[in-house]
Amino acid sequence: MRTSTGLLVLSNTLLGAASARHLARRDAPFDWSSLNSSTSLSWTPCYDAFQCARFTAPLQYSNTSAGDSQIALIMSPSNFSAGDPNYLGSILFNPGGPGGSGIQYILQLDPYFRAIIGPQYDLVGFDPRGVGETTPPLSVFESPAEALQFYATYPLNVNDSVSSLARAYVQAEILGNLTVQRAKDVAESVGTAAVATDMLQISRALGQEKVNYWGVSYGSVLGATFAAMFPQNVGRFIIDGVSDSHQWYFGTQDTSSMLDTDGVVASIFAACVAAGPSLCPIWENSTELVEARVHHALNALRVAPLPIFNNTDPAATTFAVVDYATAFDGLFQSIYFPYSDGPVATAALVALEHGNGSLVYSLSTEAQLDALSQDCTSSSEAFGAGFIDIIAPILCGDAIVDRHRSLAQARQDYAAMRNLSLFADTWYPTTIEACATWPLQSKDRFNGSFQANTSTPILLIGNTFDPVTPIQSARNMSAGFGGSVVLQQNSTGHTSLSGFSTCTALAIREYFQNGTLPAAGTVCQPDTAIFEAPSNSSAVGGVTISLRDDAALGLREAKRALGDGTAFLKRTWFPRWA
């Protein structure tokens, strides 16, 4: 049986000792079942310095007799109490996915959020419907072993073989049938509009009519949906790494998501050339030669895959096969957070050239799926793996799509996507195969438009090059929300958290503390390069930053550590984070 201990070791190395101490708090015991759920919030101390609660909401807002959902929340309390003039209320967070845990997000990263935002707010994370500690869970599989059986044959690259798209298409159909049989009521209740309504009810239970919010990636869809549904209840509201919500709901986000994906890769190659051979392991004297070297290393795996076998600890023997699909997927995962993962990914490619696939394997989705194997002997209870089994009910339940698309039509769609990006094969689950035969629609689906004058202008943030949420999507969404502003961070990666910009951190702080938006057209420069020398520096999150004598050093450190920590969470707890 395979294990993924190498991934955890790698990630802790990247994060550094200080971040690892914060991450270790997730292991502090807490019994969520001990909390009573109600429509008012009763906070209980948990995980050392946090407060936890459960909030009761209807399973279906359109049919309140259908049962209830018990939403799990965690709060990092403000330094100030309600009534103090310095207290500014609460901010709700969503880490994306869909299917990311807001509890883990705050539990692991609150020191860095706090350093950027300040002490005036309570920071509140929640597990959306069907996720994590929220009940009822979306448990499609009867056990971890069954989940592993399902995912073990799910293709990482849908065009890697003649049958791979067909297999993904058929397995998505099987997943839909399993969901109807085992979790239909829950699957129909996890849509974005229902979660947006939960946010309003939670905020009211916190004593606020206006919702303050910071959502990233899919969290931008959730935020835009909230703003469209409840424009008069929008407080200080940031959506970061913005998806085009119009296309999300019409099932066409696959193409809009990949407008800048190849630009991300090109910018990483250019950064490698600029850094030189001492800093970039795959350096060549032009971007074309770097690209050719990368493809040569990957294509060699089509002919001769590499074995991994590590029996240093006989009780935890690690073995796997690194083929083209696995390595290509690992490369795709690394471009989400190139400032953290780029140096590791380039080192992994050099290792591939020397016949060692362990490092590139650790970056791949297959390594994340290995975590299922660790649970196989520990539980026989109903199980939600948190991969496509949570993404499809939300993605496909929200979208209006042709639910009878043939495999031949799916092949045509993928051929069109290949014209947009060489990574089209790895961008899954998509509406092309995941939703083609999906049998369920969200009961509380949003059917409105994204045209609204919100009570507080929204701040949208996007990177110059983002692999799955292009800056154009932020501009498209801003056009519908009166008074909103797009802040562009001139960096590469997914969401502003992937880069390190004091300018962006200051803009976020100014907005949350004073409600002040940056000027329209503002472009924030990153503080660091993807490949940089460690001289005259201080370690933050296992990576170095240049020391300069300015008051923003703490902000810069927090922003960088937040990016590294977010990359860690994506690899470990939020697989296939969109």
423-475 pLDDT per residue, tens: 877 765 566 778 888 999 999 999 999 999 999 999 999 999 999 999 999 99
Residue 369 has a pLDDT of 65
Residue 157 has a pLDDT of 74
> Which runs of consecutive H residues, i.e. helices, occur in 276-323?
287-303
Structure pTM? 0.89
Mean pLDDT is lowest, of 35-49, 231-245, 329-343, 378-392, for: 378-392
Q: How many H-runs (helices) and E-runs (strands) does the chain carry? A: 19, 15
Share of the chain above pLDDT 90, in %: 62
How much is the average pLDDT of 114-119? 94
Residue 209 has pLDDT above 90, yes or no: yes
What H or E segment, with its residue span, contains residue 324? helix 324-334
**CA–CA distance from 101 to each of 251, 352, 378 (Å)?**
24, 33, 22
pLDDT digits (tens, 9 = 90+) for 316-327: 677 889 999 899
Residue 545 has a pLDDT of 29
303 vs 253: which has the higher pLDDT: 303
Q: Cβ–Cβ contacts within 10 Å for residue 515, how many?
A: 13
552 vs 194: which has the higher pLDDT: 194
Rounded to an integer, what is the distance from CA 340 to the centroid of its chain?
A: 15
Residue 65, CA atoms < 13 Å, CB-side half-sphere:
0
Residue 378 has pLDDT above 70, yes or no: no
Residue 556 has a pLDDT of 56
Residue 389 has pLDDT above 60, yes or no: yes
In angstroms, the first-to-last Cα distance of the chain is: 29
19-22 CB contacts, 8 Å cutoff, 24+ apart? 19/541, 19/542, 19/561, 19/564, 19/565, 19/568, 22/108, 22/109, 22/111, 22/565
How much is the average pLDDT of 86-98? 96
Residue 546 has a pLDDT of 31
**CA–CA distance from 473 to each of 242, 243, 304, 446, 488 (Å)?**
6, 6, 40, 19, 12
Residue 310 has a pLDDT of 80
How much is the average pLDDT of 395-418? 82
Distance between CA atoms of residues 282 and 26, nearest Å: 36
> Which runs of consecutive H residues, i.e. helices, occur in 4-85?
5-23
Residue 50 has pLDDT above 70, yes or no: yes
- Give me the residues paired with residue 214 across strands: 93, 238
Please tell me the total number of residues recorded for the chain in this structure.
578
Residue 553 has a pLDDT of 47
- Amino acid type, 32: W
How much is the average pLDDT of 64-86? 95
373 vs 435: which has the higher pLDDT: 435
Residue 429 has a pLDDT of 55
How much is the average pLDDT of 303-321? 84
Specify whether the CB–CB gap between 229 and 196 falls below 8 A: yes
Q: How confident is the model at residue 29 (pLDDT cuts 50, 70, 90)?
A: confident
Q: CATH topology for 41-137+189-257+447-530?
A: Rossmann fold (3.40.50)
Specify whether the CB–CB gap between 234 and 227 falls below 8 A: yes
Mean pLDDT is lowest, of 91-95, 303-307, 325-329, for: 325-329
Q: How confident is the model at residue 6 (pLDDT cuts 50, 70, 90)?
A: very low
Distance between CA atoms of residues 558 and 556, nearest Å: 5
How much is the average pLDDT of 548-558? 48
Share of the chain above pLDDT 70, in %: 82
How much is the average pLDDT of 540-558? 41
Residue 382 has pLDDT above 80, yes or no: no
Residue 7 has a pLDDT of 22
Q: Cβ–Cβ contacts within 10 Å for residue 209, how many?
A: 12
Residue 86 has pLDDT above 70, yes or no: yes
Residue 156 has a pLDDT of 73
Strands 37-38, 68-76: pairing is: unpaired
How much is the average pLDDT of 28-36? 89
Distance between CA atoms of residues 293 and 298, nearest Å: 9
pLDDT, mean over the chain: 85
Specify whether the CB–CB gap between 464 and 492 falls below 8 A: yes
Residue 528 has pLDDT above 80, yes or no: yes
What is the DSSP code (8-state) at residue 39? S
Q: Cβ–Cβ contacts within 10 Å for residue 316, how many?
A: 13
Residue 52 has a pLDDT of 98
Q: What is the DSSP string of 404-418?
A: T--HHHHHHHHHHHH
Residue 116 has pLDDT above 70, yes or no: yes
Residue 143 has a pLDDT of 85
How much is the average pLDDT of 509-533? 95
Distance between CA atoms of residues 395 and 247, nearest Å: 11
Residue 119 has a pLDDT of 96
416 vs 476: which has the higher pLDDT: 476
Distance between CA atoms of residues 107 and 23, nearest Å: 8
114 vs 255: which has the higher pLDDT: 114
